[in-house]
């Protein structure tokens, strides 16, 4: 079975991906605590990890690449619009969206690269 055309989904990983998605939604849509960041632009790293992690887990679970990456990208856009328009303590940001897309791209790259072979001495 190849990672490009999995024959079936892996239920445990689908469950883990869904838990990650719930956490992602909680992090994105809960009112902002307004606390200080440990370093400048730490929120961009959080966006990259949230979107990249969820996309990667769905790909690892055997979801179709177009579905996992496409829905992640759509969610990235929707999340920034929702934060900008509907959550008074949040703001949408083009830089956050860029970080979301970077995370999704890294997930795609991580699942697209050929597996490393382990060289065993003869």
Q: Over the stretch 82-97, which tens digit does the pLDDT of each residue have? A: 999 999 999 899 999 9
Instruction: State pTM to two decimals.
Output: 0.83
What average pLDDT does the segment 56-69 reach?
Answer: 96
Q: What is the pLDDT of residues 47-59, one digit of tens each?
A: 999 999 999 999 9
Inform me whether the pLDDT recorded for 113 exceeds 80: no
CA dihedral for 44, 50, 56, 62, sign (positive or negative):
negative
Residue 46 pLDDT: 95
- Cβ-based neighbour number of residue 100 at 10 Å: 26
Inform me whether the pLDDT recorded for 61 exceeds 80: yes
Q: Tell me which of 79 and 7 has the higher pLDDT.
A: 79
Q: Output the six-digit token pair for 39.
A: 């370093």
* Closest C-alpha among 109, 7, 116 to residue 62: 7
Q: What's the CA gap between 120 and 122, in Å, rounded? A: 6
What average pLDDT does the segment 28-51 reach?
Answer: 88
Q: What's the CA gap between 67 and 64, in Å, rounded? A: 5
Q: What's the CA gap between 19 and 80, in Å, rounded? A: 21
The pLDDT confidence band at residue 1, using thresholds 50, 70 and 90, is: very low
């Amino acid at each position: 079975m190849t990672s490009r055309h999995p024959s079936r989904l892996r239920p445990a990983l689908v469950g883990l991906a869904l838990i990650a998605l719930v956490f992602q939604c909680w992090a994105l849509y809960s009112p902002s605590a307004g606390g200080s960041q440990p370093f400048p632009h730490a929120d961009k790293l959080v966006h990259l990890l949230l979107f990249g992690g969820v996309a990667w887990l769905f790909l690892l679970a055997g979801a179709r690449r177009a579905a996992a990456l496409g829905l992640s990208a759509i969610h990235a856009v929707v999340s920034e619009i929702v934060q900008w328009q509907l959550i008074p303590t949040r703001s949408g940001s083009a830089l956050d969206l860029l970080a979301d897309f970077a995370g999704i791209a890294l997930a795609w790259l991580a699942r697209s690269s050929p597996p490393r072979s382990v060289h065993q001495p003869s």
